[in-house]
Chain A
Amino acid sequence: NAGVTQTPKFQVLKTGQSMTLQCAQDMNHNSMYWYRQDPGMGLRLIYYSASEGTTDKGEVPNGYNVSRLNKREFSLRLESAAPSQTSVYFCASSVEENQPQHFGDGTRLSIL
């Protein structure tokens, strides 16, 4: 059972480079989410997609864009990476909103 799969697992970028983080779920979930986790912090919501065809901003959307490619896939894009975006990025999905979210194992992103 794959669950939520994130690629890549690790990435190093230079300031100003662009990057797309990929996320796919095989649980037929309607809702998908992107979070970032900084050292000693809980997760903070960047963007979410309540259902296929919709996306909305979360708590910390600046510097990011998302695409809900289809029901399975939800990508996160950094157009011009900044050192402040160094973090671990987690994708999650849930059957519907207000239901338990299931997480991938994260992408560890360093921006120099």
Chain B
Amino acid sequence: GESVGLHLPTLSVQEGDNSIINCAYSNSASDYFIWYKQESGKGPQFIIDIRSNMDKRQGQRVTVLLNKTVKHLSLQIAATQPGDSAVYFCAENVNYGGSQGNLIFGKGTKLSVKP
């Protein structure tokens, strides 16, 4: 089974509200996490990343929080806009065959923004 999962498969928010998308991971050795946004018919688009030596990282309108104690990752989107409607994936970095750059993706959360 997948080591990365999401608590909510769908999330509906009002335009202008803040959105919070949650993710649980099970591999305590993971040291790098990424959030991706995927629009219909497109490939995943990088949003923000965080390494395990940090608890919080901010970008433009987005914040990622990492709680290593409970193995939980969240993405906060401020002032959600219709253009934020998409599927959001979290991913954790795991090792395959000694390499260190391979991502395990969660199943995704669909964010719908109501005007």
Q: Answer yes or no: A26 CB below 8 A from chain B CBs.
A: no
With A103-B43, A105-B41 as known contacts, state yes or no: A50 contacts B99, CB within 8 Å: yes
**Residues in B neighbouring A96, C-beta threshold 8 A:** 101
Of the candidates A31, A40, A105, the one whose C-beta lies within 8 Å of that of B101 is A31
Count residues on chain B whose CB falls below 8 Å from chain A CBs.
27
Q: Which residues of B contact A102 (CB under 8 A)?
A: 46
Known: A48-B101, A90-B44. A42 touches B93 (CB 8 A): no
Q: Is the CB of A104 within 8 A of B89?
A: no
The binding surface of chain B is classed by DSSP as strand
Give the CA-CA distance A18 to B65 in the complex, in Å: 44
| Contact in complex: A99, B107 (CB < 8 Å) | no
Task: Identify A56's interface contact among B46, B97, B108, CB under 8 A.
Answer: B97
Do A56 and B44 form a contact, CB below 8 Å, given A50-B101, A99-B101? no
Chain B residues close to A by CB (< 8 Å):
2, 4, 32, 34, 36, 41-46, 49, 89, 91, 93, 96-97, 99-108
Taking beta carbons and an 8 Å cutoff, which residues of A are in contact with B?
A: 4, 31, 33, 35, 40-45, 48, 50, 56-59, 90, 92, 94, 96-106
> Nearest 5 A-B pairs (CB), nearest first?
A97-B101, A42-B105, A103-B43, A43-B105, A100-B46
